[in-house]
Amino acid sequence: MNKLILTLIVFLTTCAIVSAQDTLPKFSVKNVGGNRIIVSWTNTFETVKQISIQRSFDSLRNFKSILTVPDPDIPKNGYMDTKANTDHMFYRLYILLDKGVFLFSEAKKPVLDTARKLDISATLEKFPPNSLINAPDKGINNKNRPDVFVPSIHVYTYKDGYVRINLPDDQEKKYNLKFFEDDGTFLFELKEIKERTFKIDKSNFYHAGWFKFELYENGKMIEKHKLYIEKDF
């Protein structure tokens, strides 16, 4: 009898969380108590190649990926984060679609869930700490999964075909940006950049494929990353 009641509680908890999920790129972030933050969403995109959950103390910058979802195609999914030492963190989603198109969700802080009283033991049985709500089968060997790509927040390819540049808004600092072919061959450089937000046409890169870049602040390299130029947009 007790087992039946516990199962029912778990089922009702799951239904409540799923029903509250938002459709991507919208998502839900709820503080369910006990240092537990649940990030959840509903996926209606036809093709999703990657979903990464990112966390930061700042709503605009310094986001770091805390999890890349093993199976981004699951229609309803989420993650329980127990490693955030405060509920004042911001969360966002990086969503990679088809043909290199990607987008970031808005940044959101956890909302205290006072609408229902969760049974903690039942919740933990269904959603272990730092686990996916709809995790893949245990038989999947994650070691064989290919590396996932998370783009720079400063230099990235946008869906319109341009390379977007977003630099820190500090006019006293000087920024240089160097671009290279994937094999390291120098391509071109932007020196003492005046604008903090602008775009570069893909024609400057001569061909599709991977390119590397280095971002310098007052002569010191602060980022070394890469980006992908699609052939057709």
- Model's pTM, two decimal places? 0.48
Q: Percentage helix, strand, coil, to 5, in the chain? A: 15, 35, 50
Of residues 160 and 220, which shows the higher confidence score?
220
Task: Give 73's pLDDT tier (boundaries 50, 70, 90).
Answer: confident
Strand 102-104 and strand 197-200: pairing?
Answer: unpaired
Q: Which fold has domain 155-229?
A: Immunoglobulin-like (2.60.40)
> Sign (positive/negative) of CA torsion 119, 122, 123, 128?
positive
pLDDT over 70 at 145, yes or no: no
For residues 41-51, b (16+ Cβ closer than 10 Å) or e, as one string?
A: bbbeeeebbeb
Region 63-81: what's the mean pLDDT? 84
Region 146-171: what's the mean pLDDT? 77
pLDDT above 70 covers what percent of the chain? 73
CA distances from 10 to 16, 90, 121, 126 (A): 10, 27, 9, 6
Of residues 167 and 135, which shows the higher confidence score?
167
pLDDT at 117: 43
Region 24-53: what's the mean pLDDT? 89
Task: Give 176's pLDDT tier (boundaries 50, 70, 90).
Answer: very high
Cα separation, 160 vs 157, in Å, equals 8
pLDDT above 90 covers what percent of the chain? 28
Residues of the chain within CATH 2.60.40.10 domain(s) are: 2-144
Region 200-207: what's the mean pLDDT? 88
pLDDT at 115: 55
Q: Which fold has domain 2-144?
A: Immunoglobulin-like (2.60.40)
pLDDT over 60 at 125, yes or no: no
Cα separation, 91 vs 66, in Å, equals 10
